[in-house]
Amino acid sequence: MNFLDQLGAAERQNQSLLCVGLDPDPARFPAHLKNDASKIYDFCAAIVDATADLVIAFKPQIAYFAAHRAEAQLEQLMAHMRRTAPQVPIILDAKRGDIGSTAEQYAIEAFERYGADAVTLSPFMGLDSVQPYLKYHGKGAFLLCRTSNPGGDDFQNQRLASVPGQPLLYEHIARLAQGHWNINGQLGLVVGATYPAEIERVRALAPSLPLLIPGVGAQGGDALATVKAGWRNQRAADGTAQTTGPIIVNSSRAILYASAGGDFATAARAEAFKTRDVLRAACQAA
């Protein structure tokens, strides 16, 4: 299956739009693992095992592993997820952005070394910085579009005077991704849950693309507002199927660190279950 097929299958099987972000910070681990970077795999694998039947995707953030020289543990974790939760696609949150042979190496890292099903990218350097990833047919690539951080306004919310209609930069990115950049139907967009109006705008501009929506939970994004802005009923009024892309709503810290005790995996499952059901209820209300 290609990445979009994997997403659809996981959404149906787990009845979920929830993505669990794997951002392991040893300083926040439970007491018996705290400040021990050699336990990153153990911590993350326990989270994966506790939540694999509740999610549409997992999203490991590469910096949290690289900062602790834990790339080997990330490889181990990727293998564990493919082995124990093969129905759940894996989005490697790398936010790479470079051109030519360097981008080719980053693509090898994401898809060959780590075996990710999709990767996050910065589109700032243009289409040729994205194309090496699109050579991996069946893989997904999510372009940063309207991110959840306040500093996103510095560039993403600025108007492009040289483009017809003078769109905001994030609107231009959405149009490119929906249009001629999406060579093999592999692109998606990253839009922060902290900006529901912008999610709605991106969905209007890119109706068929999957949207990766971080920012629910610790960053303060509202799950109900997020779903209402980005999710669309998958059937039209006449019963025919629609081509609206899926949404993947990410929560990281609120789930990972739901408990500081030995019950951290059980607490993570409970938080994931609650968030999954909030998102499901929002779909029914939308």
Mean pLDDT of the chain: 92
Cite the active site residues: 95
Q: Is the pLDDT confidence value at 118 over 60?
A: yes
pLDDT at 219: 56
CATH number, residue 132: 3.20.20.70
Average pLDDT over residues 66-93: 98
Over the stretch 25-67, which tens digit does the pLDDT of each residue have? 999 999 999 999 999 999 999 999 999 999 999 999 999 999 9
Q: Is the pLDDT confidence value at 236 over 70?
A: no
Number of domains in the chain: 1
pLDDT at 235: 44
Over the stretch 166-205, which tens digit does the pLDDT of each residue have? 999 999 999 999 999 999 999 999 999 888 899 999 999 9
Within a 13 Å sphere around the CA of 157, how many CA atoms are in the beta-carbon half? 13
Average pLDDT over residues 6-19: 96
Supply the pTM of this predicted model: 0.94
Q: Which domain holds residue 94?
A: 3-285
